[in-house]
Amino acid sequence: MFSPYYAWARQRGPADPENHCALNVALYGERARRWAMTERGRGAIRRDESSFDIGPSSLSWNGRELSIEISEVSVPWPLPLRGKVRVVPTALNEVAFTLDSEGRHRWQPIAPCCRVAVDFDHPDLHWRGDGYFDINHGDAPLERDFQSWQWSRAATRTGTVISYDTVARAGADKSIALHVDPDAKLERIAPLVDTPLRKTLWRVDRSARADAETSVRVVSTLEDAPFYARSHLAARIHGEDVAMMHESLSLDRFQMPIVQAMLPFRMPRREGWRGRG
């Protein structure tokens, strides 16, 4: 949905989304920090009800776990990025939420609580821990209906707490606050207190929700782009100190021509794929 090639194609009329597919991989850490997001055309994808191949990478679901086979090349330095990620949900959530007053955009935290295993050969990296899996999908470009959003997710002793705040171009803004236990029992809760955070180096606004009269600290800014930031925060939620994953998105920034012109440097495009090798 952040593809500049898809945006340019839509300027000429209806565009085929299956001609603009990519697997985005971002690794952060002291030992390795790599990014890959290569877009591929329709001729490079294959899919059915349980698998989705994008060039040399693939995703498959066997009814119990999602397996992601990664074979990409990072940018801006062309380094191999090869490995496997296994996502095992403790339970699945079938409830989707509309994000706008017209019902054009939907969000579904499919697996709010997961066990995740990461095993990479290039770079040599292995990790086990807590994870999360969700989807956004819709019937209109995001930038048409939203100015921005703030999203966060924190694992707690009793499950997962998610906050999602959208700023609409027309109609009402929306705040969604959820608690999901490990069995996927989903409960809407009152939104926590919104706390302003320092802006990123690109001057993207950030804010996060936590308990009243407590501080929220930016531990690290993992991704700092002209229109998007991914951050690791420390906060207190329902009296518990938690590590929080957070994202800020400025769609006003995203649709600026200069930002669209910069995106291909982080998102190259390859037209075809002849098979695994």
Number of domains the chain is built from: 1
Task: Provide the pLDDT for residue 196.
Answer: 97
Locate tokens 């009814």: which residue?
63
pTM assigned to the model: 0.93
Cα 32 to Cα 89, 119, 237: the distances in Å are: 26, 13, 30
Q: What percent of the chain has pLDDT over 90?
A: 91
Asked whether residue 207 is assigned to any structural domain, the reply reads: yes
pLDDT one-digit tens code per residue, 57-98:
999 999 999 999 999 999 999 999 999 999 999 989 999 999
Radius of gyration, alpha carbons of the chain: 19
Bond from prior residue into 123 cis (ω within 30 degrees of 0): yes
Q: Tell me the residue type at 58.
A: S
* Those residues with Cβ within 8 angstroms of residue 137's Cβ, 6 or more apart along the chain or in another chain: 105, 106
Asked whether residue 112 is assigned to any structural domain, the reply reads: yes
Range of the domain at 56: 4-269
Alpha carbon 151 to chain centroid, angstroms: 10
pLDDT one-digit tens code per residue, 13-62:
989 999 999 999 999 988 889 999 999 999 999 999 999 999 999 999 99
Which secondary structure element, helix H or strand E, spans residue 7, and what is its range? helix 4-11
How many Cβ atoms from other residues are within 10 Å of residue 134's Cβ? 16
Q: How far apart are the first and last CA of the chain?
A: 28
Q: Tell me the residue type at 221.
A: T
C-alpha angle 151/69/130, rounded to 5°?
Answer: 40
Asked whether residue 16 is assigned to any structural domain, the reply reads: yes
Asked whether residue 203 is assigned to any structural domain, the reply reads: yes
Asked whether residue 275 is assigned to any structural domain, the reply reads: no
pLDDT beyond 70 at 272 = no
Task: Provide the pLDDT for residue 1.
Answer: 79
What's the token pair of residue 24?
Answer: 């985005």
